[in-house]
């Protein structure tokens, strides 16, 4: 499973419920998993296209761990 670092406001605007999610240390970006992005009815296309629509990018799990540890995510 891949994970998406996405713009928090854009994710909320397409109806993704952000309860319990992890955010970067300034609160701008949110960490989503592949399932919640692909199950969203507003977004379309493959995972990369959907991530781009959220001003974000999809990463494999091990890369995500490197990013959030380096950037001190909540």
Please select the residue that binds another protein; options are 9, 28, 35, 74, rule is CB under 8 A: 35
Compute, in degrees rounded to 10, the torsion defined by CA atoms 9, 14, 17, 20. Answer: -40
From the list 3, 6, 8, 43, which residue makes contact with another protein (rule: CB under 8 A)?
3
Strands 29-33 and 2-7: antiparallel
Q: What is the SS3 assignment for 56?
A: coil
- Tell which one of 7, 23, 24, 36 touches another protein (CB under 8 A): 36
Beta bridge partners of 7: 29
Tell me: does residue 51 bind another protein (CB under 8 A): no
Instruction: Kindly list the residues in this chain that would bind another protein in the complex (CB under 8 A).
Output: 1, 3, 16-17, 19-22, 31-36, 39, 41, 61, 64-65, 68
């Amino acid at each position: 499973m891949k994970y998406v670092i996405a713009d928090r406001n854009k994710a909320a605007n397409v109806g993704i419920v952000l309860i319990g999610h992890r955010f970067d240390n300034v609160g701008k970006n949110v960490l989503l998993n592949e399932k919640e992005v692909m199950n969203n009815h507003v977004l379309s296309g493959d995972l990369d296209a959907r991530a781009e629509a959220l001003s974000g990018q999809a990463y494999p799990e091990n890369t995500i761990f490197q990013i959030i540890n380096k950037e001190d995510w909540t």
